Every structure is written in C-alpha cells, then in structure tokens.
Amino acid sequence: MSDPAPSTIDRPGQVASATPPAPGRSRRLSDRGLAVAFISPALLLLLAMSVFPLLWALYLSFTDYSATRGGPANFVGFGNYTAILTSAQVHLRALTTVIYVVGAVGLQTVLGFTIAYLISRRTHGRGLLTTLFLVPMMLSPVVVGLFWRFMLDAQFGVVNSMLGSLGLGQVEWLTRQRTALISLIVVDTWQWTPFIMLIALAGLTAVPKYLYEAASIDRASEWFRFRTITLPLVWPLLLIAVLFRAIEAFRLFDLVYILTSGGPGVSTETLSFHVYKVAFLGFNTGTASAYGILMVLVVIVLTQLYLRYLNKLKED
Amino acid sequence: MRYSKRTGRLSVPGRKVRLATAAMLLVTMTTAAACSDGQDDGAKASAPKAPATIPELTKDPLTLSFIWFEWPPAQALEAFANEEYKKERPNATIKVNTVPNANWHDAMFTQFAARKTDFDIAILDSQHIGEAVTNGNILDLTDFVKTNIDVKAYNPYLLAAYGQFPQAETGKRDENASLYGLPLLGDTWTMIYRKDLIGDKPPQTWDEMISAAEKCQADNPGVSGLAFHQANGSDAAAVTYNTVNGVYGGNLWDAKTRKIQGVINDPAGQEAMDVLVNKMKPLTAKGSGNWFIDEVNAAVAQGKACIAFNWIAASGGLLDPKQSTLGTTRNQILDKLGFATLPSQKTNLVPLGGMGMHVSAYSSPANQAEALNFMKWFERADVQKKWAAAGGVPSRTDALESPEFLNAGPFNRVYADSVPRMRDMWNVPEYARLVDIENTNVNAALNGAKKPKEALDDIAKEQQSVLDSSSRKGGGGL
Amino acid sequence: MAVSVNEAVSPGPVRDHPPPARRRSGRGRTVLEVALLTVLAVVMLFPVLWMIETSIKENRDVYAVPAKFFDFKVTLDHYRDVFVASGGGRSTLSVSFLNSVIVAGVSTVLATVLGVPAAWAYSRFAVRAKKDQLFFILSTRFMPPVVVVIPIFLMYRQVGLIDNALGLILIYTAFNVPFTIWMMKGFVDEVPAEYEDAAMLDGYTRLQAFRKFTLPLLVPGIAATAVFALIFSWNEFVFAIFLTSSDDVRTAPPAIAGLIGGTTVDWGLVAASSVVFALPVLVFAYLVRKHLVAGVTLGAVRR
C-alpha cells in the first residue's frame, strides 16, 4: 500500500527565488516536470484511496473471504456474482431502489423546477428567497433523518398532530409498507428539491431577454413561449441536475439507516443498505465486494451519461 | 478549456503508462491481499486461552474499558466499578464505552474484524458468543474459571448462558464444555401492568393477559392494551416472537440436527405467530411497529399502555417521577404500576436476556490481566451483593436470594422467579444473520407487509439456508 | 452556455427581468404565484423551525399532543446538555464536535493543498489524455460510500488506521480532491494565461509566475472550494460510523445519531445538537452563496 503522504507535494514557494532569473532554456521540459509534480500527488492519493481499494474489492469479489472469520480467501469464480444476480432478495432491493430513485428524483425535479420558475418571475427578494429555500440541502443527512423521524412519529409527531387538528386520522408514516417508502421519498425530496431549484434557476436566469421580447412581439402564447424558448434552454442543465441526483439517490444509505432502518420488514431496504448488511452483519466480505462492484458498474454507467451530457453542454 | 488542444487523446505512450500503472497496482494488490491472508491464518485457530492464574498486575495507571450499548445499566456499571474496584486497585479506572443498541453487534464485531479493539472487556449478548469464539475474538476462560471462580455458587444455566460454547440446552449446563465468559448482568422480560386499570392481580395465562388488555383498551380511550418490542433492528421483534413461540410450546430449532425448517414453523410456531399478529398487534398503539425499549418505556411512563413487556434492566427509569406522568413520587407510580413474571400458556418459558463479560483477544497483556482480575473480583459474593444493591442483576444464587437484591427494585423478585424458566436463542456463529432474518420478517408480519404464515415460512426457509450455506460456493450472506 | 450563477442567487433585486405575462394577466396571477411561493417556502422551512423550537422546549412539551406551537416555556437546558456532561465537565457530544472540527479542517487543508496545484496544471498544460484523467478523477467521487468502505476497512486494518482520526482525514481528503480539482480548474480557466506568459517574458519562471500573478487572483475561488470541501467532511456519516468506534475519535454525525436507541430518547437534546451542528454549515454556505451551483455539482456546472 502506498502511503499518500502529503509531504511529497512540491511547495511552490520553495523553488521560487526573489529576482527573476534568466529565461530558462528548457522551458518545455520544466513545464512538463511542473505538471507532473503538481498532478501526481493528487493522482497518487486517488490511486491509493480509491483505485487500489476498488481493485482489492474486485479481487475479493471472486473469493469467499470473510473479514471476521479469517482464513484463506478461496477462489469461487463468478459464484458471488451469479448468486447476487439471481437472488430474489437482491431483486427486491433493486426494485425498492428503482422506485425510490425514480420517485424521489422525479418529484424533486418537478417541485424544484416549479419553485425556480416562480422565483425567476419575481423582481424583488429573489436572493433572500433562494437563500431560504437552500437551507435543507446544507443539512447533514443525519440531522435530516433524525428530525423527520421525530416529526413523522405516529403518536406524538407534529405531522400527525397537524393532520389531527384538521380532523384527519393518524397515519403510520414509517411502519407501513407503502407509507414508509413514500416517507423516504418525501424526506429526500424535502432535502434535495433545493438542489434542482438552484440549477434550474441558474438556467432560467440565463435565458436571454431578447428571445422573450421577440416572442411577445409575435404574440406567442405563454405556454408556447415556455415550451419553445424556456424549456429547450434550461433542459440540458436540468438533465445534469437530474443525473447528478440519480447517482446520489442510487447510493443512498444514511437516510434509510436512520429513518426506517429498512423497515417495515425489508420494504425500504435499498441496495446500499443491503450491501451494508451483507458486509457488516454477516461479514460475508467476498459477497459484499461483488455486490459493491456491481453497484459501482451501475454508477459508472450513470456517470458516463452524466459526463456525456456535460460535454455536450460545454460544447454548445 | 483553454489548453485543450486535444494533444493525442489516447496516444500510445498514454496507454502504455496506464497499462503500467494497472500492472503495478495489480502487483501491490496481490501482495497486500497475500499478506492479509497470512495474518488471518495466524488468527484462524479458535479462541486463545487465558492463563489459569492471573498474571502479575501493573502498578501504572491503567484504564480498563468495556463496550456496551447505551442504557442505564452501563452508567450504573461504570459508577459502581469506579467506586468499588478502585478500593482494591487504586491505579485502575473503569470506562464503559457505549454505542446505540442497534449498532451494538456491528460496533463490537467490526472492531474484532479490525483485530484492534478499544475495549478490553466486551459485554456480549449470550448469542454473540458463538461468532466471537469461532472467530477467535475472545479468550477461552476455562482454565481461569477452574482455578479462580466458585462455579457451584451459580445457577448452572446462567453460567452456561453467558459463557459456554457450544450452547447449553435450555436449563442445562455441560460441565465439560469450554467457558468464554462470566455473567455480568442477568435479565429477562417483565410484564408491566397498570394496577389501577386492570386490577392488582396480574393475568396468569397468555389468554387472560390478552383479554385483560382488550378490556382495558376498550374501557380507557387513548390507552392501548399492549406495548412490546416490534422494531426490525437489534433483536427486538425476534425476541418478541421467540417469547410467544416459547409460551405456545414452539421451538426455534432442533440444535442436534441443525434443523429450523419444519421446526420453527410447526403448528405451535404458526399458532404463536397468529397470536402475535392477529391478537396482540391489534391491541398496540398505531405506529408502534418500530418500537423498541425506549418507546415502550415512554408509552408506559406517559400512561398510554395497559400492559407492556420490557427488559427488567431497562425498566428502572419507569419509577423516576421526572420521566413519568403517572405520579410525582416513586410510591405514587408504584401504586399504579405492577411488575410480574410473564404469563404462561402451554409452557412457562421466558426469554433469557442479560450479558456476560468476555475478554478481547486483541487487548494488551496488562489489560487482559487486569480484566481477569476484575472478573474474579466481580464474581465475589460480597461484590455481587453490592452490585445488586447498586441496581445490577447478579447471577450468583446467594446474591439473587439476598435482601439487598430483592429489595432494590420491584422487578427484582420477577427476575429471581424467572430464572428457572429461561430460554435462549441459537448461540451459533451465524447468529447475526439468523436474528436479522427473524427480525425483518416478524416486523414485516406485524406491520402488514407480509402475511403471518408467509413470514414464518420465510424465516424457516431463509434461516435454514444460512445454516446450510457452508457447503455453497459464493453468494454467502444474501 | 451563459448561465450567470452569481446573478441567480445574489441577494437583492437582480436585473430588470419583467415577467412577460404581467401585461396581460395582471395582478391576480402575481398574487397567486406569490401565495404559492409562500406556501412552498413555509413547507420547506417548517422542519427547520420545528427543530429550533423543539430545541428550546421542555421535555414534557416536546411530547405534547396536540403539538404546542407557541405556548411553551422556553429553556436553554438542552443547549447546555450539548456541551456539558450531566455530572459537569465536557460532554461526549462536545468532544465529537471538536473531532469534527479537526477532521473536517485538516482534510480540507490537505485537499486544497493537493487539489489547487493539480487544477492549475490541468488548466495550463497539455497533459496527456487530460480529458480521460479528469473524468477518471470525477468518477472516483461517485463511488457509493458503503461499497468503498469495505476495502478501505480491510486496508486500514492492515495499517492500523481504524478508529483513528488520520484514517478519516485521509478518506475525506480523497473524496474532496476530485471536487477541488474540478471546481478549481474552472476558476483557473478564468484567469487569462497571458498574465503568466507576460511574466515569463519578464524572466520569471513558470512557477514564479503562478505564485506571484495567478495564485493571488485565485484566492476567492480557493476559499469557496475549501468551504464546500469543509461542508462535505463536516456532514459525512457513512465512513465515520464504520471507521470509528470510540468516543475520543468519533465525529459529530455518528455521535448525534447515537442519541437515539437507548432506553429513553431526549428529542430536545437531539434537536439542540442538530442546531449546533447545522449552524456553522449554514453560515459557511451563506458566505459562498455566489458559488453554490458550481459547488453542489462538484464544479461540473458553472457557466
């Protein structure tokens, strides 16, 4: 294992002298040297802390290694992979994760865009409004999870208390199959709608004014303007935001851990949560590694999409 | 992108460099993996042995650390040990690290897996012993116990439950089996009932208990009939089902043939699940499907439950007027709250709770010696009585029968009466997986996510496959 | 794409951007829109307000049904409990806050020291397969933490970094470096390379030119980037809960999560510690509000 010692970095100050020396003959070379010296420490750290562990996990994923039981890691070929891909338990978690990702990201996209649109039409107080709306996004998932758990408590939670004063009955937010997943989606939406809003707002404020002016001369209907001017211009940015959120939502662990710990039964267990159970409850490290590698593959596909759209965006 | 002149993306040297990097990484990876395997081989042998006699103790200041979950007995232990043990060993300080209950198993066993523990004495649940022993995480105390501990002073089953592996059958101890721990805190469920609502006399059978709860709930709007553990974390819902299963004459497994399929879901097991889901669950508060120790306590303290079940060791707070709406003094609360042993039905089994002390194999020799010395001290008759008076639940028979213990709390009599009736879960290395399967499925059944029969059959099937999985190649733990 | 992030979020009236519809549909619609915005704002902010309110309530009011919105007695006991242990002395929570400060602070400094020069180099030089390298760097940031933590756990076990602040610092640094590089590269791109070229004609070396002319211009960008790295490390939970165990090392997020799951839950204390924990983040986020869009997309979206 290479120890990513930060001391290897070249401090710019050490080489520089006070007076400008004669222009160096080997400028090309020194540029290259400089690039290597500046880039390699960061890359080495990433190789040591991201790539190397991942390769290790890749190796373990072909074995039956267990972190607690010790003993040699026996090679099992693709045994772990086939077991995971054919396991009904995994399919169940995959379905839960898909519902969660689609539900949460869909909801926050609609809401986030709506809020951004409404804010973009205001002349006054936009800065203040934006800042206020952004608060949930800055909170730690731990704080968000704990607090919603408190608010959604069926007995003394404030949400049921308010429903009660409206004459509605108690809802078991966290302990019924449907409502628990919905609660998870709602909490995630609460926290991350501001994210979509922020990016959509950036797109909306960038729509050149003259386009609207031209359209209003043409007496185009508002819906027409929205569809033909606003949306096409904001769409690429919005897509970036959606992909970004999808990646994040796919990785979700902490909110489940705190809000429902996967319950009732296993109906809110996401793939991440299941990996945790395999890895740290049963300590089936080999299986968990294979499971993790498969998840990473999904993330890589999503990331590729993300980067492709990003590229397109930058080229426009 | 000012400088992106596309200088030969994927140029040949670039690829070479990357290939070289990949090759280098592979080499490092295999060496690191190989060296990790080497180290694991050393630890593979089962639990290392503790010396028969306590090695010489250090005179330097020393901190003896425990790990437990966050609950009042943890604070009680730290205060008690620092007060009393310091009299014998002035240079020793006791620290009880606590983690959330749901995280307790993971916190201990990730440290065991790391081969480095920040605790010297692990307070393991009886069922964790199998996993810890098989992995070689805790010391084999057999020789130490022979020379230092008077085993006759104990109820043999308690000694077996908190220390023996392989597991003792219910109520029995195998004198030839190895011991890996000594009792720290005994525990079982107590029935907590509202004397002012259902009368002074506690229900004697499970049926009586259910109908009393039914009547009480109907008579007192806003108060629910029952409150018990239903959460899917820790061992919450699993213990609840196991308790009802025992009371209705079921069995969790056949230990000899390692059969769960067809045992836990036999007719008795089915009846127990039916009683739990269809008779008991309807009497609980709405949204109580994720309740565990603290929520049940809160419901009792707020006067929202007629009959509740909780661990005795976690019930002390119920008598604290500051946390209760039932009265402004301890006596006022005791006028309303009664504590009784669990009702019986087809059998009178009660769940075994409590934990033993187990010495971490990764702690330093000086700390291991101190740990052994502490355990020897802790099991002395006079110390056990003091522990009882300080709010602990001892395991020595003389301490259990002492007035110090019986008068310390209204539920202590319940414990003393319950000792001969206890039953534990499976004490096998696969415990964590087994209990998770049972927890999630019982929790699903209680919350309507699965039909009771379906949940029980799933438990049997999945648990059996965990026990049988050693023969399978790959995919363990799914 | 000319997205002006600064204008999107800077406070005060931004620019004359008359809603095109106003002329036709008049006041009624504006009122409706304002009302809708208000409702949405209230929904979004209510949980935060409720958290603050719970943190200053006495415990018996916390559990009151129906919930008490205004008529409760204000107490600051919970805030005291966050910092002071029940027997006097420092509470374990306050120790964890201190650990969070150290871990988040050091990892942010490290990520900045490693990331800024690399970002400059990527921006200025024709590095081989630059795009591939940059994309590789970004993709490491997207790994699911639960997956990464398994091999990291095994690795740390070998070198004794489990339950060690240095272990957390290293992994947070590794997660922040990709972000720092991407975010900073954007800032460096904005500084014309001609400055450096001119300086080099005067006889400065490339390095001196960077240090004397470019670096000072990057300071605001570096500050914004560092703040985002700080927020990430501050809020991180998954690595913290699996890689640390003792009170001396544990950071605040797992410590706060540990407040539930005992025999009683003190929601007032949970709320108070959450407020104390969230406050620095909100202050910092406000300070870098101009760079929020770039910050939350790991520097990927800026203009």
Strand partners, B69: B99
| pLDDT the model gives residue A308 | 81
SS percent in chain A: helix, strand, coil, step 5 = 70, 0, 25
Q: Tell me the count of B-C CB pairs closer than 8 A.
A: 106
- A123 and C13 within 8 Å at the Cβ level: the answer is yes
State the smallest CA–CA distance between residue C268 and chain A in angstroms: 10
Give the model confidence (pLDDT) of B208-233 as tens digits.
Answer: 999 999 999 999 999 999 999 999 98
CA dihedral B349, B353, B357, B361 (to 10 degrees): 90
- Residue B138: left (phi > 0), alpha (psi -120 to 50), or beta? beta
User: In angstroms, how far is CA C151 from the centroid of its own chain?
Assistant: 25
pLDDT at B114: 86
- Partners of residue B110 in chain A, C-beta under 8 Å: 280
Closest listed residue to residue A282, CA positions, set A77, A28, A12, A89: A89
C-alpha span between B317 and C59 (Å, rounded): 15
pLDDT of the residue at B474: 67
**What does the pLDDT read at residue B2?**
38
Task: Evaluate if residue C87 carries a pLDDT over 80.
Answer: no
Residue B229, amino acid = H
Task: Spell out which residues of chain B touch residue A81, defining contact as CB-CB under 8 Å.
Answer: 474
Flag whether pLDDT at C288 surpasses 90: no
Q: Can you state the angle between helices A79-86 and A285-315, rounded to 10 degrees?
A: 70
Inter-chain contact C281–A16, Cβ cutoff 8 Å?
A: no
DSSP A169: P
Q: Domains of chain A by range and CATH?
A: 6-53 (no CATH), 79-315 (1.10.3720.10)
List the single residue in A with minimal CA-CA distance to B440: A265
Residue partners of C9: CB distance under 8 A and separation at least 6? A127, A130, A131, A198, A201, C289, C290, C292, C293
Chain B interface includes A266 (CB < 8 A): yes
Q: How far apart (Å, rounded) are the C-alpha atoms in residues B274 and B442?
A: 11
Distance CA B345, CA B341 (A): 13
Q: What is the pLDDT of residue B122?
A: 96
Q: Chain A: nearest CA to C294, how far in angstroms?
A: 9
Residue B438 and residue B241 in contact, taking contact as beta carbons nearer than 8 Å: yes
From B378, B396, B313, select the one nearest B94 (Cα to Cα).
Answer: B378
> Given the DSSP bridges, would you call strands B422-423 and B350-359 parallel, antiparallel or unpaired?
parallel
Which of helix, strand or coil describes residue B194?
A: strand
Residue B428: what pLDDT? 86
What residues of C are in contact with residue A53 (Cβ under 8 Å)?
Answer: 148, 151-152, 155
B305 φ, ψ (degrees, to nearest 5): -140, 140
> For chain C, which chains pass the contact test of at least 3 CB pairs under 8 Å?
A, B
**3-state per-residue secondary structure call for chain C:** CCCCHHHHHCCCCCCCCCCCCHHHHHHHHHHHHHHHHHHHHHHHHHHHHHHHHHHCECHHHHCCCCCCCCCCCECCHHHHHHHECCCCCECHHHHHHHHHHHHHHHHHHHHHHHHHHHHHHHHHCCCCCHHHHHHHHHHHCCCCHHHHHHHHHHHHHHHCCCCCHHHHHHHHHHHHHHHHHHHHHHHHHHCCHHHHHHHHHCCCCHHHHHHHHHHHHHHHHHHHHHHHHHHHHHHCCHHHHHHCCCCCCCCHHHHHHCCCCCCCCCHHHHHHHHHHHHHHHHHHHHHCHHHHHHHHCCCCCCC
Mean pLDDT of C211-238: 92
Contact C13 A42 (CB under 8 A): no
How many Å apart are CA C29 and CA C22, to the nearest integer? 8
How close A9 gets to chain B, by Cα (Å)? 20
Q: Let me know the angle formed at the C-alpha of C236 by C153 and C267, rounded to the nearest 5 degrees.
A: 115
Q: How far apart are CA B184 and CA A113, in angstroms?
A: 59
Q: Please name the residues between 235 and 264 in chain A that touch chain B, using a CB distance below 8 Å.
A: 260-264
Is B242 in a helix, a strand, or coil?
A: helix
Torsion sign, CA atoms B379, B382, B383, B388: positive
B285, with CB counted inside 10 A (0-12, 13-18, 19+), is buried
Type of residue at A303: T
CA–CA separation, B325 and B334 (whole Å): 12
Q: Residue C130 phi/psi, 5° resolution?
A: -55, -45
Give the one of A53, A142, A222 whose C-beta lies nearest to C148's C-beta: A53
Nearest to B342 by CA among B264, B260, B262, B245: B245
* In chain C, where the domains are located: 22-83, 92-296
Q: What six digits make up the tokens of A138? A: 């800055």
- pLDDT (0 to 100) of residue A27: 52
Beta-bridge mates of residue B68: B98
Asked if B16 is an interface residue toward chain C (Cβ–Cβ < 8 A), one would say no
Tokens, residue A250 = 């796919």
- Cis bond before residue B166 (omega within 30° of 0): yes
Contact B40 A70 (CB under 8 A): yes
- Low-confidence stretches of chain B (pLDDT < 70) are 1-45, 168-171, 470-474
Q: Which chains touch B (3 or more CB pairs under 8 A)?
A: A, C
* Cα gap C73→C78, rounded to integer Å: 13
**Closest Cα to residue B317, out of B291, B340, B294, B336?**
B294
**CA proximity to C141, closest of B180, A247, A172:** A247
User: How many residues would you count in chain A?
Assistant: 316
Measure A274 CA to nearest chain C CA, in Å: 10
Q: Which of B143-147, B385-389, C15-19, C67-71 has the weakest average pLDDT?
A: C15-19
Angle at B196 between CA B192 and CA B202, to 5 degrees: 45
CB pair distance less than 8 Å for A64 and B477: no
> C202: which 2 tokens?
């005067």
Domains of chain B (ranges, CATH numbers): 62-187+354-423 (3.40.190.10), 188-350+427-469 (3.40.190.10)
Residues 6+ apart with CB under 8 A from B70: B98, B99, B100, B101, C258, C261, C262, C263
Which residues, other chains included, contact A156 with Cβ-Cβ below 8 Å and sequence gap of 6+? Answer: C62, C63, C64, C65, C67
Q: Strand B305-311 relative to strand B182-194: parallel, antiparallel, unpaired?
A: antiparallel
Q: What angle do CA B267, B268, B273 make, to 5 degrees?
A: 95
Strands in B163-231 per DSSP E: 164-165, 178-179, 182-194, 224-227
Angle between the N-to-C axes of helices C22-55 and A126-138, in degrees from 0 to 180, rounded to the nearest 10:
40
Domain C92-296 sits in which CATH superfamily? MetI-like (1.10.3720.10)
Q: Which residue of B has its CA nearest to A291?
A: B475
End-to-end CA distance of chain C: 6
Q: Which of B201, B363, B225 is nearest to B288 (CA)?
A: B225
β-strand B121-125 against B62-69: which pairing, if any?
Answer: parallel
Q: How many CB atoms lie within 10 A of CB A166?
A: 6
Contact A264 B135 (CB under 8 A): no
Chain position carrying tokens 């009265």: B327
Which one of A73, A89, A155 has the shortest CB-CB distance to B287? A155
Residues of chain A with pLDDT under 50: 1-19, 22-26
Q: Does the beta-carbon distance from C293 to A202 stay under 8 Å?
A: yes
Over residues C207-235, mean pLDDT: 91
